[in-house]
Amino acid sequence: MHGAAPFRGVTTSGWTLDDQGRAQSKSLGNVVDPVDIAKRLGGEIVRLWVASVDFREDVVGTEALMERIGENYKKIRNTFRYVLSNLDGFDPARDAVPFDEMQPLDQYMLLRTEEFAKEVRQWYEEMVFHRVYHRLNDFCVVDLSAIYFSILKDRLYTAAPKSLARRSAQTAIWRIGEALVRLVAPIMTFTADEIWQYLPHVEGRSESVHLELFPKAGEITGTVRDAAHVATIVADWDNLFEIREEVLKALEAVRQDKTINDSLEAKVTITAPKETFELLNKYRKHLNAFFVVSATDVLEGGALSVKAERAPGQKCERCWNYSTHVGEDKVYPTVCERCSATLAEIERG
């Protein structure tokens, strides 16, 4: 391991390793033993702990730290569980949507995943595994679970099974899952191989994830015919996510004053300067799902401002959005106009 500092001075709450690698107990009866941790929490937790610390400096290990690593492991595993649970019946050869035909948010997240994979590959090459661990944890827990998956729920759960909207979402999470499982394989050895067995079968794939290579540029998105459009997608959605932060603040304010209990009970009105107004108008049909609200109005005006209030209409019993059109369809009197069209599509299919 060229250029690495000597592995010494390693400290835990109960033991150290001296220069010869011999264990030195600091206080009998107060020892954090990796073997014991592996027996109680699992070997994956020890591997993740090793990956989470910078081996070039004194390495700290405590019971509390091990438990925190264990919690993070569960969150990462839950990210994969969400991916797998929404790919039932999805056959990439039959159902995958080409990048240029996917919904813009799905395109954006694949581009973000490609950027993430590039960083991780570089850190593996440099053997800075702690950066891999921390970025992986952040990407799974925040970028995917807290943001992207929460936005996708409406599309995955309420769109017609074979609709382009749902297939686009499934294509995105399948490609993200395929990339992630290869990237975590060195530090989540058994978990990654288990996940690999449950991902949709692709012709020519290896029996084990450990026989695969890290994903390279272009593999995550697939073929991109309109390469010039990629920069526009990234710029647009970077800006939209900044606007989303302002929307979330407005929603939190009306949640705090008990106007709403859940964001789907809300309608937001965004007033924005010309350039921002045009951006929002460009993606208007995606805004309700993106903000996780029932209605969105966009007005052109001065500085950016967001008003949140209770959405008009009744709650759709299928998608839980509020609409003034619930009850208009006599065949499906308890659902909104969007779900009514979806149910009709499902029946035809």
Least confident span in 7-11, 89-93, 214-218, 272-276: 7-11
Per-residue model confidence (pLDDT) at position 226 = 85
Least confident span in 50-54, 109-113, 315-319: 50-54
Contacts of 71 (CB under 8 A, 6+ apart): none
What's CA 89's distance to the chain center, in Å? 21
- Decide if pLDDT at 16 tops 60: no
Average pLDDT value for residue range 264-268:
98
pLDDT tens column, 215-262: 987 899 988 988 888 999 999 999 999 999 999 999 999 999 999 999
- Decide if pLDDT at 164 tops 80: yes
- Decide if pLDDT at 272 tops 90: yes
Question: Going from the N-terminus, what domains does the chain have, and what CATH number goes with each?
Answer: 10-66 (no CATH), 74-211 (1.10.730.20), 236-311 (3.30.2320.20), 314-349 (no CATH)
% pLDDT > 70, the chain: 86
Q: Is 218 left (phi over 0), alpha (psi -120 to 50) or beta?
A: left
Least confident span in 128-132, 152-156, 215-219, 302-306: 215-219
Task: In whole angstroms, give the CA distance from residue 338 to residue 54.
Answer: 51
Task: In whole angstroms, give the CA distance from residue 186 to residue 166.
Answer: 32
Q: Which of 289, 91, 237 is nearest to 171 (CA)?
A: 91
Average pLDDT value for residue range 311-321:
96
pLDDT tens column, 120-135: 999 999 999 999 999 9
Task: In whole angstroms, give the CA distance from residue 301 to residue 94.
Answer: 46
3: phi then psi, degrees, rounded to nearest 5: 85, 0
Give the end-to-end CA distance of the chain in Å, rounded to a whole number.
Answer: 59
Task: In whole angstroms, give the CA distance from residue 87 to residue 146.
Answer: 19
Q: What is the mean pLDDT of the chain?
A: 88
pLDDT tens column, 190-215: 999 999 999 998 888 899 999 999 99
Position 7 confidence tier, pLDDT thresholds 50, 70, 90: very low
Contact present, 276 and 243 (Cβ < 8 Å): yes
Task: In whole angstroms, give the CA distance from residue 114 to residue 106.
Answer: 12
Task: In whole angstroms, give the CA distance from residue 239 to residue 234.
Answer: 9
Average pLDDT value for residue range 336-348:
93
Position 299 confidence tier, pLDDT thresholds 50, 70, 90: very high
Contact present, 273 and 304 (Cβ < 8 Å): yes
3-state secondary structure of 295: strand
**Which residue did the predictor score with more confidence, 2 or 247?**
247
Position 40 confidence tier, pLDDT thresholds 50, 70, 90: low
- Decide if pLDDT at 20 tops 60: no
Position 62 confidence tier, pLDDT thresholds 50, 70, 90: low
Per-residue model confidence (pLDDT) at position 223 = 87
Q: Which of 34, 3, 171 is nearest to 100 (CA)?
A: 171
Per-residue model confidence (pLDDT) at position 69 = 86
Position 24 confidence tier, pLDDT thresholds 50, 70, 90: very low
